[in-house]
Structure 1
């Protein structure tokens, strides 16, 4: 079984580790650094987000720059706040179970949780070592990602990717245990260590026929979510929605919007949607996954986005937004990665 999984991973580029996937095109990234005379050329891409949104930025600064009516109700909790005060703060803000919690500075769905009762909240608060967010659980049925970039000297931008997300889930048949359902799942079976960590105490449970059991509520590729490519849905109406968002603060030029909406048509009409997150220049064009691309087509799409990122960053640099110094960027990146390694230990 292990040998079979090894070869399945070897011949499916979508399952390769991050560095193994990106290493062959790394010299292109280095070339942009050399042309810019800066290791951190991307830091000027989104001038009002720390490090251009490459890594380590807080969610609060992102939410504060988006239209208030399009972001979920959100409060921020210090990890060392006494729990009685946490309860009061959450109650005063009008939250009721269930709601979402996640680190203010986080990535890849690390420590993202759905909290359904006080016991789970106590456990989360006692465990998390950093400031975190309490946020409304958005009940819109459709979750999508929209990759958008706009050159600063142009009014109109490009919707370069549009996908719908299906969270990692199994469906009960009334006979199989949760463990068996996971072992037979095309993606979850590659994540058995993670699944055992999260759901091991439920592995022997028989999932009733027709019941959906969510293995993760994070809509990330690295958390096992399945993507449905909606490139045929990209049209002028959709572009207009994101052009308007890009111009809201005038400084969001490159990144990916993660959104929940009532329907694709409503999103195109600019109504009934909420922005869960805006991911800046560190965002991966995740529409390369689950759409039948071979690795060379995926590389071509990634390189197309890197070229746009370089051009946007260079323009902003020439017009008053300096690149971060090597020392500043190195120190920030070192601290950010130390932070994420710590979070992984608590996930």
Structure 2
């Protein structure tokens, strides 16, 4: 079994380690650094987001800039508050169970949880070492990602990627245990250590026939979500929606994670909520789960890097400075220390 998994990983580039996947094209990134004479050439890309949204930015600054009608109700909780104070804040804001909690500064779905009860919230608050968000659980049925970029000297931008997300889950058959369902799942079996950590106490449970058991509520590739490429659905109406958002926020480059009632409603700019905006550190995740060759995937990534470089260079030429080497180094060091701490509690 171990040998089979090894060869499955070897011949499926989507399962490769991040650094292994990106190593062959890393010289292109270095070339943009040299051309800009800045290791942090990307920092002017989104001028109103810390570090351009590459890594380590807080979600609050993103939510504050988006139209409030398009983001879930959100409050911020200091981990140093007493649990009584937490409950008072949540009650005052009008939240009811279930809702979502996640770190204000987070990534890759780390410590993203759905909270169903006061007991679960108490355990989360007791453990989490940083400030976190309490946010409405958006029940809209369709979850998508939209990658968008706009050159600052142009009025209209490009929706370059559009995918549907299906959260990592198993469906019960009435006789298999959760562990057996995970072991036989095409994606979850490669995440057995994570599944054991999260759901090991339920592994002996037999999932009733037809019942859907979500293994993760984080809709990203890092957490095993399944993507379906919707590139053929991109049209002029969708471009208008995201052009308007870009002009409202001055977000020039990144990926929107969205829940909506339907694809058609999103195209019309109706009935959707923006769960996250990921800035210049966002991966064009439409390269995954669509049968794309690694060479085409590299071409897509390089296309986006070129756009990122041009946006950043223009903004720098028009008054948004590159971060200094020292400032960027210290910020990145602190961000990675922060994420390392989060991973210990995930």
Normalising to structure 1: TM-score of the pair? 0.99
Mind listing any 5+ residue stretches in structure 2 that lack a counterpart? none
Q: Residue 269 of structure 2 corresponds to which residue in structure 1?
A: 270
Give the Cα separation in 2 of the matches to 1:137 and 1:15.
30
| 1:8 lines up with 2:8 in the alignment | yes
Give the Cα separation in 2 of the matches to 1:177 and 1:195.
13
Give the Cα separation in 2 of the matches to 1:339 and 1:2.
33
* Matched ranges for 1:273-312 at <5 A: 273-312=272-311
Structure 1, residues 203-237: CA drift from partner, whole Å, max 9, x if none?
A: 01110011000000000101000000000000000
Q: Residue 53 of structure 1 corresponds to which residue in structure 2?
A: 53
- Deviation at 1:294? 1.0
Structure 1, residues 235-262: CA drift from partner, whole Å, max 9, x if none?
A: 000110000000013x210000000000
- Deviation at 1:194? 0.3
* Matched ranges for 1:126-205 at <5 A: 126-205=126-205
- Deviation at 1:310? 0.1
Q: Residue 79 of structure 1 corresponds to which residue in structure 2?
A: 79
Q: Residue 344 of structure 1 corresponds to which residue in structure 2?
A: 343
Count of residues paired in the alignment: 346
* Matched ranges for 1:14-53 at <5 A: 14-53=14-53
Name the SS for the 2:42 alignment partner.
helix
Name the SS for the 2:275 alignment partner.
strand
Give the Cα separation in 2 of the matches to 1:337 and 1:239.
35
Give the Cα separation in 1 of the matches to 2:338 and 2:298.
29
Give the root-mean-square deviation of aligned CA atoms.
0.4
Name the SS for the 2:48 alignment partner.
coil
Structure 1, residues 277-319: CA drift from partner, whole Å, max 9, x if none?
A: 1000000000000011011110000000000000000000000
Give the Cα separation in 1 of the matches to 2:24 and 2:329.
23
Structure 1, residues 2-51: CA drift from partner, whole Å, max 9, x if none?
A: 11101110110000010000000000000000000000000000000000
Give the Cα separation in 2 of the matches to 1:166 and 1:70.
21
Give the Cα separation in 2 of the matches to 1:35 and 1:16.
29
- Deviation at 1:185? 0.3
| 1:111 lines up with 2:107 in the alignment | no
* Matched ranges for 1:231-270 at <5 A: 231-249=231-249, 251-270=250-269
Name the SS for the 2:144 alignment partner.
strand
Give the Cα separation in 2 of the matches to 1:245 and 1:86.
33
Give the Cα separation in 2 of the matches to 1:172 and 1:281.
39
Give the Cα separation in 1 of the matches to 2:171 and 2:296.
33
Structure 1, residues 138-172: CA drift from partner, whole Å, max 9, x if none?
A: 01000000000000000000000000000000000
- Moved segments of 4+, more than 4 Å: none
- Deviation at 1:70? 0.2
Mind listing any 5+ residue stretches in structure 1 that lack a counterpart? none
Give the Cα separation in 2 of the matches to 1:49 and 1:222.
23
Q: Residue 101 of structure 1 corresponds to which residue in structure 2?
A: 101
| 1:328 lines up with 2:336 in the alignment | no
Give the Cα separation in 2 of the matches to 1:51 and 1:112.
23
Name the SS for the 2:65 alignment partner.
coil
- Deviation at 1:52? 0.2
- Deviation at 1:80? 1.1
Name the SS for the 2:316 alignment partner.
helix
Name the SS for the 1:75 alignment partner.
strand
- Deviation at 1:176? 0.6
